[in-house]
Structures are given as C-alpha cells and as structure tokens.
C-alpha cells in the first residue's frame, strides 16, 4: 500500500512540476492600420499590422504580420514608392498592468523590396512577418508584442516617417 501511495505521490508531483514549467498556452493579438499618400500619380495605400504574442513550451514570442492594399485600383505610376520600409517587432514585459514596458527581445525586418514590388499583399507568410526572438515565459509578469514602422517615401523630400503601432493585449498568468 505504501509503495502505491509513494508512486501516486511521485506521479502527482511530476505532473504538477510539468504544468508549472510548461506555462499556459496563451495568445493575444491586435491590428493597427495607417494610410500612406504618395506624391504624383502613385496610388494611396493602406497598411495593416497585426501584433501578437503566443506562449508555447515554456517560451513566449512576439510577431508582427504586415499586409496592405491600394485604395485606388487605377494604378497610374508604377515607379518605386519607398527608399526604405522597416518594421521593428518587440517582445515586451511589465511588472504590473500599469507600469511601463521593458523590451526583452526585438528584431528589425527590412520589407522595402516586398512593399515596392507588390501593391497589395494579404498573405500570412514568413516574408511579411517579423518575429522577435522568444524568451522564457514568466507568468508573474505581463507580456505584449509591440512594433514600430519607419518608412521613407521616394521623392517626397520629408525623410523617414515613424509609426508607433498598437501593441497586443497583455498576456499574464
């Protein structure tokens, strides 16, 4: 009887430890959008960014997925639209719901060629996804994914423009 209770106790402890180490499978996402108006006859374009976090196997990751569409289907000017178009995705943590974010990991992805070569893009593929490196999940802190897009429109003379996008909802517990 004692060995059966000991075996049951060890099994329960192993399961509990596995649950504690694995962490919850949690995910959260939000989408932001912004319009870009180009000089000349280039079509106005609307850009969308989905920032999301996901936890799996004791880690948490952040990614940003870009998509876009022209708002006027009469493309007149096929010339280059951007000299630069980059997105930086950040995995952020905070100690409480109301304290400031701290960047844990980040990655900057250069999408200049992709956005110049494609007037519209709604596929969810690695080429339009920027993923920050994952980190060990800690259920005591609040996690989110955030991103910033910096682009420079070809020929407008204004230099780089920065768009701070809405971060994902907080993941905790």
What are the domain boundaries of the chain? Answer: 24-164
The more confidently predicted of residues 151 and 26 is: 151
Which pLDDT does position 75 carry in this prediction?
A: 66
At 77, list the tokens: 């000017």
Q: Using an 8 Å Cβ cutoff, are 125 and 109 in contact?
A: no
Which pLDDT does position 14 carry in this prediction?
A: 36
Neighbouring-strand partners of residue 68? 47, 121
Please give, one letter per residue, the 3-state secondary structure of the chain: CHHHHHHHHHHHHHHHHHHHHHCCCCEEEEEEEEEECCCCCCCCEEEEEEEEEEEECCEEEEEEEEEEEECCCCCCCCCCCEEEEEEEEEEEEECCCCCCCEEEEEEEEECHHHHHHCCCECCCCHHHEEEEEEEECCCCCEEEEEEEEEEEECCCCCCCEEEECCCCCCECC
Which pLDDT does position 25 carry in this prediction?
A: 55
The more confidently predicted of residues 42 and 158 is: 158
The more confidently predicted of residues 51 and 24 is: 51
For the stretch 60-117, pLDDT in tens is 999 999 999 988 776 677 789 999 999 999 999 999 999 999 999 999 999 999 999 9
For the stretch 5-33, pLDDT in tens is 333 343 333 333 333 344 455 789 999 99
The more confidently predicted of residues 26 and 44 is: 44
């Amino acid at each position: 009887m004692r060995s059966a209770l000991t075996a049951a106790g060890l099994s329960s402890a192993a399961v509990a430890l596995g649950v504690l180490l694995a962490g919850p499978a949690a995910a959260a996402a939000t989408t932001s959008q912004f319009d870009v108006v180009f000089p000349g006859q280039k079509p106005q374009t609307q850009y969308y960014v989905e920032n999301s976090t996901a936890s799996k196997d004791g880690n948490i990751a952040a990614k940003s997925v870009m998509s876009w569409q022209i708002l006027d289907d009469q493309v007149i000017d096929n010339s280059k639209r951007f000299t630069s178009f980059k997105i930086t995705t950040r995995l952020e943590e905070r100690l409480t719901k109301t304290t400031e974010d701290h960047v844990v990991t980040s990655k900057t992805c250069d999408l200049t060629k992709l956005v110049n070569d494609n007037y519209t893009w709604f596929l969810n593929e690695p080429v339009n996804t920027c993923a920050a490196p994952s980190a060990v999940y800690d259920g005591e802190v609040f996690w989110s994914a955030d991103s910033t897009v910096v682009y420079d429109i070809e020929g407008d003379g204004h230099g780089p423009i920065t768009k701070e996008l809405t971060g994902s909802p907080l993941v905790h517990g």
